[in-house]
């Protein structure tokens, strides 16, 4: 009897030990590995996952790195459908409407999510997250992205996968010059330092241009082309205290704050390089890397390009050689709340015929393990979006100022402002883009903004005031909607 | 076979029978031919008519980006279309582009054709070079001109800078006074050679003896041109005008590449308006109504034009 009791206890102890060992092992297994293990049997027949990705540098990630690696790990091939950002939404919607099931996984700009989710084009990911134990790793995505760019109506439609945020870049060497510091203090009565307000920005910019134009350096250069200006306006308008709509969902973009932003833009152009009205990503980058501008605002890759990080990389041959490596400082833009401009989330297409395999691919891409490698790819444009990315020891050593760069990105992610996201967001943004191009054509800021507000009210009325109000209220309640 | 099919007047019954048999065979033969071609005609009609019918159907529904509302909505989209000032403005912009570009392309094309009608040295090489813009895709031509007009790196501003002896920062695609000329230059550059080619062929076919006779009779160049050459090339010229007119009405690529319809909507054509509404904002039913309007307008223009040049006969 005793022997039998002992045997029973031993068996129970063994069972408990095995269970503990198994559960510990399972917990220790990374989300990336879980995705690989689960995908292997699904990929046994030699499947191909088709994913929509932004054309250009962005798509070198799946083409050169993650696609081949996923095939090597699981046997699933990855086909990349490249499209310019301006056409991605159209392509995704057209395919969804056609119902061909041609796309399995998608790169989606978070501001599009309400539209795509409402249209039914995106698969709800919660059941997959639960099934493949990804919830824990989702929690280590930086709070701004995790809390604001993942869900619609409480359901997960995409994994934030790109920490796009505007950063203020400035020439440390110019701000440290004694002659300039002395002259600036004498003129304005405060120390020359990276601007904390837009008023300071205007004064510093004008001062630099006046002092350095003979050296071929302008005070600042900025995105002014309407497509980029849309993001810049949204950021600055809210930093000035502006709200997009009032309590009755009436557009208030034509408020004094809006007029102030457009008026100041026009004035600031006077100390920027000629033709700044047409500056987009590349034009502004060229001017800054050539050392012809003392300050600018842009997405994180500017910092890497300016540092000359892996400038010999073939895919980056189009990037002008940086003449300012080691001279660039990174901080938050004036106002302290940068735009979380665009960004990408990974989603599964609702029309996919192999959703499980598509999901596993995006879980693997987005996981701690894989994403830490992807954000360090020199040629791709994925920016840090997980807490671990900002403190990655390898990343911190990539170039001498990488530590400051990552600290600035992390700070920016904490105070960043979300792009406006409503039903039919593009219509609201289109009105804004057209308004900005009218500004450069010489029209009056107040008149432009009144027209934009009128167009916004018409769009809202067409969507349905109550319907849109509910979506806006949910958006405005997010931590990154307005400065707190 | 009804009895009336048999000719009763023929006195010889055998001949009458044979004639009737031949008639019957001919009728059967004709019917058989129709049976053979019927499937092709059916497919052609299906391809041609179905999209139009579907377009009309969709224009009476309310399909948007988020709602697949296929219920009958009456004239909802047509009312909205009529009220849309942006739509009418885009139509006006299209008419302006057409009204300026078409005559310029015609006159330039004709002048060039007149120049190259004579056997001048290097004619073949010049003609080949002149035709190059036509073979380029319009969107590529637009992108090329976008670079040409670039304020920092574009050769146009560079040349102006040399001429004025300083930096020229002319924002061709932003300045409201320059944006139309910029688009028109690109458009005319690309499509004048098309006019040139057609008119060169037409001019080559003009009867030389008539020109010689006119010359002997002492007719001057203008008189000869207006009384002999122009009437001779008119049928080809009319077709060239019609084709280019229709093309200009659909103007999209060059404007899209240069301005995307901006500043604001200042250069937005009806095609760009329809594209933005239909494929960027997915106002599907509204766009169907706009497309129908374009079809109706173009059909009227084509019918009037064909009637005018008497080609419809």
Q: How far is A300 from chain B (nearest CA, A)?
A: 25
Number of A/B CB contacts below 8 angstroms equals: 60
| pTM to 2 decimal places | 0.87
- What tokens appear for A396 in the block? 């911190």
Mean pLDDT, range B134-160, rounded to an integer: 94
Between B230-249 and B179-204, two packed helices, what is the crossing angle to 10 degrees?
140
Nearest-CA distance A438 → chain B (Å): 5
Domain residue ranges in chain B:
3-59, 76-312
Q: Is the Cβ of A274 closer than 8 Å to some Cβ of chain B? A: yes
Is the CB of residue B264 less than 8 Å away from at least one CB of chain A?
A: yes
What does R_g of chain A's alpha carbons equal in angstroms?
25
B173 at interface of A, judged by CB pairs closer than 8 A: yes
Check CB contact under 8 Å for B263 and A437: yes
To the nearest whole Å, the CA of A212 is away from the closest chain B CA by: 18
Q: Which of A274, A424, A440 sits opposite B65 (nearest CB)?
A: A424
Torsion, Cα A34 A35 A40 A43, to 10 degrees, reads 170
Indicate the pLDDT class of residue B310, thresholds 50, 70 and 90: low
Would you call B161 an interface residue with chain A, using a CB distance cutoff of 8 Å?
Answer: no
Please report, in tens digits, the pLDDT of each residue of chain A (484 residues total). 444 444 545 445 444 444 444 444 445 689 999 999 999 999 988 899 999 999 988 999 999 999 999 999 999 999 999 999 988 999 999 999 999 999 999 999 999 999 999 999 999 999 999 999 999 999 999 999 999 999 999 999 999 999 999 999 999 999 999 999 999 999 999 999 999 999 999 999 999 999 999 999 999 999 999 999 999 999 999 999 999 999 999 999 999 999 999 999 999 999 999 999 999 999 999 999 999 999 999 999 999 999 987 777 888 888 888 999 999 999 999 999 999 999 999 999 999 999 999 999 999 999 999 999 999 988 878 999 999 999 999 999 999 999 999 999 999 999 999 999 999 999 999 999 999 999 999 999 999 999 999 999 999 999 999 999 999 999 999 999 999 8
| Mean pLDDT computed over B244-254 | 95
Q: Which residues of B touch A275 (CB under 8 A)?
A: 151-152, 169, 171
A278 chain-B contacts, CB cut-off 8 A:
150-151, 171, 173-174
> CA B251, B255, B257, B259: dihedral to nearest 10 degrees?
-160
CA–CA separation, A64 and B78 (whole Å):
50
What whole-number distance in Å separates Cα of residue A147 and Cα of residue A141? 9
CA angle A209, A215, A216 (to 5 degrees): 70
Return the structure tokens found at A39.
């995908």
* Beta carbons of B169 and A275 less than 8 Å apart: yes
Enter the CATH code of domain B76-312: 1.10.3720.10
CB atoms A438 and B279 under 8 Å: no
Residues of A in contact with B90 (CB under 8 A): none
- Cα–Cα distance, B66 to B44 (Å, whole number): 34
Q: What CA–CA distance (Å, rounded) separates A83 from A88?
A: 6
Helices (H), A44-120: 60, 67-74, 85-98, 113-119
Does the distance separating the beta carbons of A93 and B152 come in below 8 Å?
no
Test the A interface: residue of B80, B139, B174 with most A CBs within 10 Å: B174
Residue A63 DSSP class: I
Find the helix or strand (DSSP H, E) in which A160 lies. Answer: strand A159-160
With an 8 Å Cβ cutoff, is B278 touching chain A? no
Q: Which residue in chain B is spatially nearest to A87 when comparing CA positions?
A: B280
DSSP element (H, E) containing A106: strand A105-108
Q: Is the per-residue pLDDT at B1 higher than 80?
A: no
Chain A: closest CA distance from residue B265 (Å) = 7
> B interface mutation test: which of A90, A448, A467 has the most B CBs within 10 A?
A90
Query: Does position B12 have pLDDT exceeding 80, yes or no?
Result: no
CA distance A101 to A327: 49
Q: What is the pLDDT of residues B51-76, one digit of tens each?
A: 999 999 999 999 988 788 889 999 99
Say if B279 is an interface residue toward chain A (CB within 8 Å).
yes
Q: Do B262 and A226 lie within an 8 Å CB cutoff?
A: yes
Q: Which residues of A touch B263 (CB under 8 A)?
A: 434, 437-438, 440-441
In chain B, what residues touch A434 (CB-CB under 8 Å)?
A: 262-265
Q: Sign of dihedral through CA atoms B221, B227, B232, B234?
A: positive
Q: What is the pLDDT of residue B166?
A: 87
Q: Of B63, B76, B272, B282, which to mutate for an interface test with A (greatest number of A Cβ within 10 Å)?
A: B282
Short-list A50, A66, A53, A166, CA closest to A377 = A66
User: Do A275 and B152 lie within an 8 Å CB cutoff?
Assistant: yes
């Amino acid at each position: 009897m005793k022997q039998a009791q002992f045997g029973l206890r031993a068996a129970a102890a063994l069972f408990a030990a095995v269970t503990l060992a198994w559960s510990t092992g399972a917990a220790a297994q990374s989300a990336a590995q879980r995705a690989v293990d689960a995908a292997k049997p699904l990929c046994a027949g030699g499947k191909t996952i088709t994913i929509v990705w932004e054309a250009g540098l962005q798509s070198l990630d799946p083409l050169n790195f993650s696609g081949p690696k996923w095939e090597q790990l699981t046997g699933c091939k990855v086909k990349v459908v490249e499209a310019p950002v301006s056409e991605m939404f159209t392509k995704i919607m057209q395919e969804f409407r056609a119902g061909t099931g041609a796309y399995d996984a998608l790169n989606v700009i978070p501001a599009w999510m309400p539209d795509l989710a409402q249209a039914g084009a995106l698969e709800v990911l919660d059941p997959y997250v639960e099934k493949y134990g990804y919830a824990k790793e989702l929690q280590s995505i930086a709070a701004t992205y995790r809390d604001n760019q993942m869900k619609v109506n409480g359901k997960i439609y995409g994994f934030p996968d790109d920490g796009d945020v505007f950063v203020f870049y400035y020439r440390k060497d110019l701000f440290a010059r004694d002659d300039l510091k002395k002259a600036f203090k004498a003129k304005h009565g405060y120390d020359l330092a990276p601007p904390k307000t837009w008023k300071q920005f205007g004064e510093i910019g004008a001062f630099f241009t006046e002092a350095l134009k003979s050296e071929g350096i302008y005070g600042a250069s900025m995105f002014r082309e309407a497509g980029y200006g849309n993001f810049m306006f949204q950021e600055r308008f809210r930093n000035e205290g502006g709200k997009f709509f009032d309590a009755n969902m009436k557009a208030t973009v034509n408020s004094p704050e809006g007029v102030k932003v457009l008026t100041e833009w026009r004035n600031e152009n006077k100390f920027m390089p000629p033709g700044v009205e047409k500056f987009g990503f590349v034009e502004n980058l060229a001017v800054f890397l050539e050392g012809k501008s003392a300050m600018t605002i842009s997405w994180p890759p500017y910092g890497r390009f300016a540092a000359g990080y892996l400038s010999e990389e073939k895919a980056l041959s189009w990037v002008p050689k940086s003449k300012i490596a080691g001279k660039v400082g990174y901080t938050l833009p004036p106002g302290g709340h940068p735009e979380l401009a665009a960004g990408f989330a990974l989603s599964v297409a609702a029309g996919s015929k192999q959703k499980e395999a598509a999901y596993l691919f995006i879980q693997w891409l987005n996981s701690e393990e894989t994403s830490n490698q992807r954000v360090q790819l020199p040629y791709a444009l994925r920016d840090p979006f997980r807490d671990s990315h900002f403190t990655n020891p390898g990343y911190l050593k990539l170039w001498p100022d990488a530590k400051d760069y990552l600290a600035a990105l992390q700070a920016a992610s904490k105070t960043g402002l979300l792009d406006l996201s409503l039903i039919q967001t593009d219509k609201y943004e289109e009105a804004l883009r057209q308004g900005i191009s009218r500004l450069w054509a010489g029209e009056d800021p107040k008149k432009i903004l009144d027209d934009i507000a009128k167009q916004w009210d018409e769009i809202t009325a067409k969507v349905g005031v109550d319907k849109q109000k509910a979506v806006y209220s949910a958006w405005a309640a997010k931590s990154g909607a307005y400065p707190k | 076979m009804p009895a009336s099919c048999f000719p009763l007047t023929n006195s010889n019954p055998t001949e009458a029978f044979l004639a009737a048999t031949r008639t019957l065979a001919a009728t059967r033969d004709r019917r058989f031919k129709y049976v053979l071609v019927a499937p092709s005609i059916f497919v052609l009609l299906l391809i041609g008519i179905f999209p139009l019918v579907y377009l009309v159907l969709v224009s009476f529904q309310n399909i948007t980006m988020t709602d697949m509302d296929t219920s009958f909505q009456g004239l909802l989209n047509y009312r909205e279309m009529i009220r849309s000032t942006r739509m009418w403005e885009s139509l006006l912009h299209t008419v302006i582009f057409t009204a300026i570009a078409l005559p310029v392309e015609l006159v330039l094309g004709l002048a060039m054709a007149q120049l190259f009608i004579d056997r001048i040295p290097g004619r073949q090489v010049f003609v080949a070079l002149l035709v190059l813009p036509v073979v380029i895709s319009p969107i590529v031509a637009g992108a090329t001109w976008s670079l040409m007009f670039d304020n920092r790196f574009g050769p146009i501003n560079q040349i102006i800078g040399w001429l004025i002896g300083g930096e020229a920062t002319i924002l061709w695609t932003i300045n409201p006074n320059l944006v139309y000329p910029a688009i028109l230059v690109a458009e005319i550059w690309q499509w004048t050679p098309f006019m040139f080619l057609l008119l060169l062929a037409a001019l080559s076919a003009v009867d030389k003896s008539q020109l010689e006779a006119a010359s002997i009779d002492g007719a001057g160049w203008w008189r000869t041109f207006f009384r002999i050459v122009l009437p001779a090339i008119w049928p080809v010229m009319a077709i060239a005008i019609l084709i280019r007119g229709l093309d200009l009405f659909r103007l999209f690529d060059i404007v899209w590449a240069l301005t995307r319809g901006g500043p604001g909507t200042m250069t937005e054509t009806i095609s760009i308006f329809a594209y933005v509404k239909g494929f960027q904002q997915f106002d599907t039913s509204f766009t169907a109504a706009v497309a129908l309007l374009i079809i109706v307008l173009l059909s009227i223009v084509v019918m009037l034009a064909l009637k005018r040049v008497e080609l419809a006969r």
